[in-house]
Chain A
Amino acid sequence: MNNNLYKYILGIADNSLILGQRLGELCGHGPSLETDIACTNISLDLFGQVRSYYQYAAKVIGDGRTEDDIAMLRKEREYVNVLLVEQPNTDFAYTIGRQFLFDVYHYLLLNKLQNSHDLTLSAIAKKSIKEVSYHQRFSTDWVKRLGDGTEVSHQKMQEAIDGLWTYTDELFHQTEADKIMVSEGVGVDVTSLKEQYYAIVSKILEDATLKTPESKWFQKGGKQGIHTEHLGYLLSDLQYMQRAYPNMEW
Chain B
Amino acid sequence: MSEEQIKLEAERSRSLEDQFEARIARDEKIEPKDWMPEKYRKTHIRQMSQHAHSEIVGMLPEGNWITRAPSLRRKVALLAKVQDEAGHGLYLYSACETLGVSRDELYEQLHSGKAKYSSIFNYPTITWADMGAIGWLVDGAAIINQVPLCNTSYGPYARAMIRVCKEESFHQRQGYEIMIKLANGTPEQKEMAQDALNRWWWPSLMMLGPTDDVSVHTEQSMKWKLKRKSNDDLRQQFIDQTVPQADLIGLTIPDSDLKWNEERKSYDFGEINWDEFWQVVKGHGPMNKERMKARVGAWERGEWVRDAAMTHAKKKQKQAV
Q: Which residues of A are in contact with B by a Cβ distance under 8 Å? A: 21, 24-25, 27-37, 40-41, 43-44, 47-48, 50-51, 54, 67-68, 71-72, 91-92, 144-146, 148-150, 152-153, 156, 234, 237-238, 240-242, 245, 248-250
Contacts and interface: CB of A to CB of B under 8 A. Distances in A.
B165 interface: no
Interface stretch (B6-14, B29-37, B62-70, B223-231): B62-70
A40 B90 contact: no
Interface stretch (B151-159, B180-188, B204-212, B248-256): B180-188
B308 A241 contact: no
Contacts of B306: 31-32
Given A47-B72, A245-B188, A250-B181, A30 B302 contact: yes
B19 to A, nearest CB: 37
B189 interface: yes
B308 A24 contact: no
Contact of A149 (B75, B82, B83, B311): B311
Given A30-B298, A31-B298, A237-B67, A40 B307 contact: no
A73 to B, nearest CB: 11
Interface in B166-200: 178, 181, 185-186, 188-189
Candidate in A28, A48, A68, A238 with the most chain B CB atoms within 10 angstroms: A28
14 contacts: A25-B67, A28-B82, A31-B301, A32-B302, A35-B302, A47-B72, A47-B75, A71-B72, A152-B307, A153-B305, A245-B186, A248-B185, A250-B70, A250-B74
B304 A28 contact: no
Contacts of B80: 40, 44
Contacts of B294: 28-29
Interface string B303-320: 111111101110100000
Nearest to A50: B72
Interface of B: 56, 59-60, 63, 66-76, 79-80, 82-83, 86-87, 89-90, 93, 128, 178, 181, 185-186, 188-189, 294, 297-298, 301-309, 311-313, 315
B185 A249 contact: yes
A21 B309 contact: no
A149 B309 contact: yes
Contacts of B188: 245, 248
Contact of A145 (B67, B69, B74, B309): B309
Given A150-B304, A153-B308, 7 more contacts: A27-B66, A36-B83, A43-B79, A44-B83, A153-B305, A153-B311, A248-B188
B298 A149 contact: no
B59 A28 contact: yes
A33 B89 contact: yes
For the complex, would chain A's binding face be called helix, strand, loop or mixed by DSSP majority? helix
B232 to A, nearest CB: 33
A28 B60 contact: yes
Nearest to A34: B90
Given A33-B56, A47-B72, A152 B312 contact: no
Contacts of A156: 304
Please give me the 10 A-B residue pairs with the lowest Cβ-Cβ distance, nearest first: A31-B302, A149-B308, A153-B308, A241-B70, A28-B63, A28-B59, A250-B70, A31-B305, A237-B67, A40-B83
A20 to B, nearest CB: 9
Contact of B86 (A36, A153, A242): A36
B71 A250 contact: yes
A150 B308 CA distance: 5
B301 A91 contact: yes
A51 B79 contact: no
B228 to A, nearest CB: 28
Contact of A40 (B74, B86, B309, B312): B86
B75 A24 contact: yes
A145 B302 contact: no
Contacts of A153: 304-305, 307-308, 311
A248 B186 contact: yes
Contacts of B128: 241, 250
A154 B107 CA distance: 27
B70 A44 contact: no
Nearest to A71: B72
A24 B72 CA distance: 12
Contacts of A36: 83, 86
Contacts of B311: 149-150, 153
B83 A27 contact: yes
B84 to A, nearest CB: 9
B68 A237 contact: yes
A238 B309 CA distance: 33
A240 B65 CA distance: 10
A24 B185 contact: no
B181 A92 contact: no
B67 A238 contact: yes
Contacts of A43: 79
Candidate in B71, B76, B306, B308 with the most chain A CB atoms within 10 angstroms: B308
A149 B313 CA distance: 8
Contacts of B83: 27, 36-37, 40-41, 44
